[in-house]
A and B are shown apart, each in its own frame.
Chain A
């Protein structure tokens, strides 16, 4: 009765084989978008169907899986994908970046630096960096083939002309291995430098768009910019309110309707790790502070 209803990691072996071939090609041509026969997955498009297929294709029984969504291990998307693979592949799961061998991510790269035995799988909504500049896919493919990337700078020019600085804050275009211009998926540009010369393998899966691309370990990844307007990662100028980290990417959380807000690390595992190590932010001892206040008031 309890015979597994699914093949290991949900997808059948022929499909995984097809996806692995696409992944191998993608690794061989860093930054190049390889078409693949994307399958319907038991989740809606936009929820990581591409990332899930890539993860399913590379997952082995010994792997330890971590799934993050906007840096967080405990949002709906992250939990459901983690449960999905725990159920269909029976792999161990973790929230600790260090322990994971496969990390599927949506919109963030973990703060803890990755090591050589890890694979980072990105969920990609729109793989084509030139999409909103040149609507014809036939033309963008030709532009990639001929490395005609002047148009990408037109977008950055427009940003500066309109806002005085490069206002693109996420999905900031990068050039991989001095050849292909690539959309790093909607990660904040704060994370762009982490992609450069990264020891871990980075795989990108776009399910609806049926594309897979990759950055092999230790590959040069350069964010595009102008000489007089160089690339700058953006970060709120505040320490994390829970762990006082000064160098992590922050989420802004609105706490009331009077303009109150707090900034906390978007990477929950990193923040929790720091708190466990004894770092305290301005709001981390809030319950005790309240009690202290009550005591002094009473």
Chain B
């Protein structure tokens, strides 16, 4: 069992090979390549318009790349090119083995249905048909993301921004995905709520052995959560390495600028 785990961790979960995307004459992302291993957290940092979100959309199969490939190791151990998956397979992957945490919780949640149903939706989509079990699992997950279970029947409209974001995380993690994409998960939250959310994310990632691709412009988030960092500028990956190494000893002038622009605590 341990050996098998070792082998599994040895092979990358997600591999991107020279991904590029251009919109007409604008090259939004140029020649991005990397491998992501199980349990690894990769932060993609850079300023607005640097191609972070485009790259994330290509990785998660929402946007077709102009050139290059993304391949993913499925639960059966076979690595497949995302472009060759049928739409049904891709959508199935998206709601079982993957998660996607949007910056705006309204995009990732159903605002008109209760929190319990929001968490339970993925379970029902994979064929759970027992109300009691769905509800138990949902309330279990609400506890794990520190939402009072008394509010399980309230809609996310009545939730604060931080609670919505935590609910979105619970909704994504309920099917125990192996890979989660996050697009600025702490954007728009105040600092203390951010800190709590980051704390929660960090413990969940460790506990569930999640692989995460997190897009952020906040270097503090990258430092707290990620193992590795990719710095993007003008659609290119300009620097990549271990988080501490990149943030403490930046090599590229742009990264130096980025790091030095953080206000000292």
Chain A residues near B (Cβ < 8 Å): 133, 142, 146, 148, 150-151, 153-154, 157-158, 160-162, 226-229
Contacts known (A146-B87, A162-B153); A154 close to B131, Cβ less than 8 A: no
User: What are 6 A-B contacts defined by CB distance under 8 Å?
Assistant: A148-B91, A150-B122, A150-B126, A161-B117, A227-B131, A229-B131
The docked-state distance in angstroms from the alpha carbon of A150 to that of B120 is 9
The docked-state distance in angstroms from the alpha carbon of A161 to that of B134 is 11
Residues of B within 8 A of A154 (CB): 110, 113, 117, 120-121, 124
Q: Which 9 A-B pairs have the closest CB atoms?
A: A150-B125, A153-B124, A150-B124, A226-B131, A227-B130, A146-B88, A157-B117, A154-B117, A161-B153
CB distance from A168 to the nearest CB of B (A): 14
**CB nearest neighbor in A for B86:** A146
Judged by a CB distance under 8 angstroms, whether B192 is at the interface is no
Chain B residues near A (Cβ < 8 Å): 87-88, 91, 110, 113-114, 116-117, 120-122, 124-126, 129-132, 134-135, 152-153
CB distance from A154 to the nearest CB of B (A): 5
| Set A157, A160, A228: member contacting B124, Cβ < 8 A | A157
Q: Is the CB of A151 within 8 A of B121?
A: yes
Q: Is the CB of B113 within 8 A of A158?
A: yes
Q: Is the CB of A228 within 8 A of B125?
A: no
CB distance from B14 to the nearest CB of A (A): 24
Q: Is the CB of B130 within 8 A of A157?
A: no
Q: Is the CB of A227 within 8 A of B91?
A: no
Residues of A within 8 A of B120 (CB): 154, 157
Residues of A within 8 A of B152 (CB): 161
Give the residue among A154, A160, A162, A226 with the most B Cβ atoms within 10 A. Answer: A154
CB distance from B248 to the nearest CB of A (A): 46
CB distance from B234 to the nearest CB of A (A): 34
CB distance from B121 to the nearest CB of A (A): 5
CB distance from A167 to the nearest CB of B (A): 13
